[in-house]
Amino acid sequence: MRIFLLVAILCAAPLARAQQSPNVIYIYADDLGYGDVSCYGATKISTPHIDKLAKQGIRFTNAHSTSATCTPSRYALMTGQYPWRKSGTHILPGDAALIIPTDKTTLPKLFKKAGYTTAIVGKWHLGLGDQVEKNWNEAIKPGPNEVGFDYSFIFPATADRVPTVFMENHTVVALDPADPIAVDYENKVGNDPTGKEHPELLKMQSSPGHGHNNTIVNGIGRIGYMSGGHKARWVDEEVSTTFLAKAKDFIEANQRQPFFLYFALTEPHVPRMPATMFKGKSDLGYRGDAILQLDWTVGEIMKQLEALGIAKNTMIIFTSDNGPVLDDGYQDEAVTKRNGHTPAGPLRGGKYSTFEGGTRVPFIIRWPGKVKPQVSDALVCQVDMLASFSELLNQTIPEGDAPDSENLLNTFMGKAQKGRSALVEQGGTLAIVKGNLKYISPSNGASYNKLTDIETGNAPGPQLYNLREDIGEENNLASQYPERVKEMAAELESIKAGKR
C-alpha cells in the first residue's frame, strides 16, 4: 500500500506541474481572407463561433502570414525562418520531399521538449520522405512525426492535388495491397479518367486555363495523376468532418496532460466541396458554405473544450495561411454568387499578392482568464510563434535556429502593444513594412493575374504606401519620398543579408 502511494505521488507530481502550462490549439484556415469573417467586417456571411473567440480574446488587425501562399507560410510557422531564405519552399506538388530540416528546432519540437503531447491534424503541404520518388504503399519517412509531432493525421498536400488520401503517422489510411497506389506529376499513370479527357464525368468543372484536369477523384479533376488506392481515396464532403473527428479524439485522449494541436483545416481552399449539410447555406456558393463549415468546426472544438472542462486552460489561436481567392481553379460559383462579399475586406490584392490582401489575415488568440478581451493593432507575424512560445514554455532556442522569429509573447498575451520593428512580406516579390510605411520592391512580373482576377503587387518601379492613411494601397508615394524609398530598400536588403 505504501509503495502504491509513493508511486502514485511520483506519477502525479510531474503531471500537476505540467498542467500549469496551457493546452494550445493552433487552428489554421486555408486561404481565408481578412474580410471573410464577420468579426473582421464581413456582412454577407456570419461566423458566430469565430466571432465569439474574438470577443473573448484578442483580435489582431495587423497580423500576417509570412507569405501569400500556403507552403512558405507553413514552413515559416514551423521553423521560425523566413521561407524566401531557403530555396524549394514554393507551393509544393503532392509528391514533394519533406522541406523542413529534421535537425532544427520546430514549433512542435519546442512543445515536446516542454513535456507536451503534440499532434497535427489536417493539411500538411510541406513534403514527405527524403525524395520525390516514393512508395505510397509503405511507411513514408521523414514527415510530420520526424519534425516534432507525436501523432499525425494529414493529407499530404492540398485538396486539389493527388494523392487524395489521408495518412495516419507514416502510412496511407485504408491501403489495399491488391490495389497499390502510384502517383505521378508528369505522366498519366493507370486508367482512371482525367478531367481533360472526360469533362462529362465531372461534378464540378475546372476553370478554363487553370489545369486541375488530371485524374478525376470523387467527380473532381485534380492536379497530378494517381492510380490505385480506390478504397483509400477521400470523399471531399467528408474531409472536414474526418479531420474534426480526429482532432476531437486527440483532445479527448490528452485532456489530462498538456497538449499542442496543430489543426490545419482545408477550408475555404479549392476544391470547395463542403459536407452536404452545408451546401447552399450561405448564398455565396460553395466558398461561402465552406466558410460556414469552418466556423461550425471551430464551434465544435470550443464546445468540446467546455464539455471536458478544459476551456479555461486551453489557448486557441485562429488564423489563416494566406489571403483569399475566388477562382482558384474550379467553377464553383464563388465568382458568380459573390453577392457583394469582399473576401479581403478593405485590403488590395489577395492570395499570391504582395499587397496587404496577400498576407494580412484574421488572427485571434483566446485564453480565458489570461488574455483580456481586446483589439490589437500591433504588427505581428506567424513566424513569431516559435520565439514567443519558447518564452512561454521556458525553452531556449539553439543559436542559429528560428532566425526570423521574434519573442512577442507580451503582445500576443495582450500585455503590450509593441509589434515587430519590421516585417518582410512575400507575394510575387518582397515587401517590407516598418511603422506606417510599406515598400514593395520592383518586379517585372505581370501586375494582374487574369486567371485569379488578383492584382499581384508587381510593378517595374518601387512602391511606397502609408498603410495608416491608405490601407488599400492606392496612393504610391515612391516618387514623392525618394529618400524613404532608399532607406526601406536598404533595410530590406540588410534583412535579406541576414543582418537585423
Site of interaction with ligand NG6 (CB under 6 A): 30-31, 69-70, 91, 125, 158, 160, 210-211, 223, 269-270, 322, 328-329
Q: What is the dihedral of CA 412, 416, 422, 424, to 10 degrees?
A: 10
Residue number with CB closer to ligand NG6 (175 or 202): 202
| DSSP label of 384 | G
Transcribe 281-330 into DSSP letters: SSSSHHHHHHHHHHHHHHHHHHHHHHHHT-STTEEEEEEESS---S-SSB
Residue number with CB closer to Ca ion (30 or 192): 30
Among 79, 81, 164, 322, binds Ca ion (CB under 5 A): 322
Query: What is the closest distance, in whole angstroms, from the C-beta atom of residue 376 to Ca ion in the complex?
Result: 24
Query: What is the closest distance, in whole angstroms, from the C-beta atom of residue 257 to Ca ion in the complex?
Result: 31
Sign of the four-CA dihedral 480, 486, 488, 493: positive
Q: Which three cell numbers, joined as nine digits, stand for 58? A: 484578442
Residues 6+ apart with CB under 8 A from 500: 494
Q: Does 66 bind Ca ion (CB under 5 A)?
A: no
Q: Which stretch binds Ca ion (CB under 5 A): 102-110, 132-140, 299-307, 322-330?
A: 322-330
Query: What is the closest distance, in whole angstroms, from the C-beta atom of residue 327 to ligand NG6 in the complex?
Result: 9
Residue number with CB closer to ligand NG6 (51 or 160): 160
Transcribe 251-263 into DSSP letters: HHHTTTS-EEEEE
Q: Does 70 bind Ca ion (CB under 5 A)?
A: yes
Residue number with CB closer to ligand NG6 (158 or 319): 158
Q: Which three cell numbers, joined as nine digits, stand for 35? A: 474580410
Residue number with CB closer to Ca ion (320 or 429): 320
Residue number with CB closer to ligand NG6 (129 or 324): 324
Picked from Ca ion, ligand NG6, none, the partner binding residue 266 (CB below 5 to 8 A depending on kind) is none
Residue number with CB closer to ligand NG6 (193 or 211): 211
Q: Which stretch binds Ca ion (CB under 5 A): 62-70, 93-101, 167-175, 238-246?
A: 62-70
Q: Does 30 bind Ca ion (CB under 5 A)?
A: yes
Place of cell 510563434: 385
The three-point CA angle 298-165-353 to 5° equals 60
What are the residue ranges of helices labelled H in 176-267? Answer: 236-253
Picked from Ca ion, ligand NG6, none, the partner binding residue 411 (CB below 5 to 8 A depending on kind) is none
Picked from Ca ion, ligand NG6, none, the partner binding residue 158 (CB below 5 to 8 A depending on kind) is ligand NG6
Picked from Ca ion, ligand NG6, none, the partner binding residue 366 (CB below 5 to 8 A depending on kind) is none
Query: What is the closest distance, in whole angstroms, from the C-beta atom of residue 362 to ligand NG6 in the complex?
Result: 16
Picked from Ca ion, ligand NG6, none, the partner binding residue 420 (CB below 5 to 8 A depending on kind) is none
Residues 6+ apart with CB under 8 A from 470: none
Residue number with CB closer to ligand NG6 (316 or 326): 326
Residue number with CB closer to ligand NG6 (79 or 320): 320
Picked from ligand NG6, Ca ion, none, the partner binding residue 425 (CB below 5 to 8 A depending on kind) is none
Residue number with CB closer to ligand NG6 (272 or 420): 272
CB 158 within 8 A of CB 125: yes
Q: Which stretch binds Ca ion (CB under 5 A): 44-52, 69-77, 298-306, 471-479?
A: 69-77
CA proximity to 53, closest of 223, 381, 297, 232? 297
CA distance 395 to 391: 6
CB 102 within 8 A of CB 146: yes
Sign of the four-CA dihedral 338, 68, 39, 302: positive
CB 259 within 8 A of CB 151: no
Query: What is the closest distance, in whole angstroms, from the C-beta atom of residue 48 to Ca ion in the complex?
Result: 24
Residues 6+ apart with CB under 8 A from 419: 62, 378, 379, 380, 408, 411
Residue number with CB closer to Ca ion (321 or 491): 321
Query: What is the closest distance, in whole angstroms, from the C-beta atom of residue 105 to Ca ion in the complex?
Result: 24
Query: What is the closest distance, in whole angstroms, from the C-beta atom of residue 324 to Ca ion in the complex?
Result: 10
Among 321, 356, 384, 473, binds Ca ion (CB under 5 A): 321
Query: What is the closest distance, in whole angstroms, from the C-beta atom of residue 156 to ligand NG6 in the complex?
Result: 12
Place of cell 480506390: 230
Picked from Ca ion, ligand NG6, none, the partner binding residue 44 (CB below 5 to 8 A depending on kind) is none
Q: Which stretch binds Ca ion (CB under 5 A): 92-100, 215-223, 321-329, 427-435?
A: 321-329
CB 203 within 8 A of CB 220: yes
Residue number with CB closer to Ca ion (83 or 229): 83
Query: What is the closest distance, in whole angstroms, from the C-beta atom of residue 271 to ligand NG6 in the complex?
Result: 9
CB 180 within 8 A of CB 228: yes
The three-point CA angle 111-115-116 to 5° equals 55
Nearest residue to ligand NG6 by CB is: 70
Picked from ligand NG6, Ca ion, none, the partner binding residue 463 (CB below 5 to 8 A depending on kind) is none
CB atoms within 10 A of CB 494: 13
CB 325 within 8 A of CB 351: yes
* Interaction site with Ca ion (CB under 5 A): 30-31, 70, 321-322
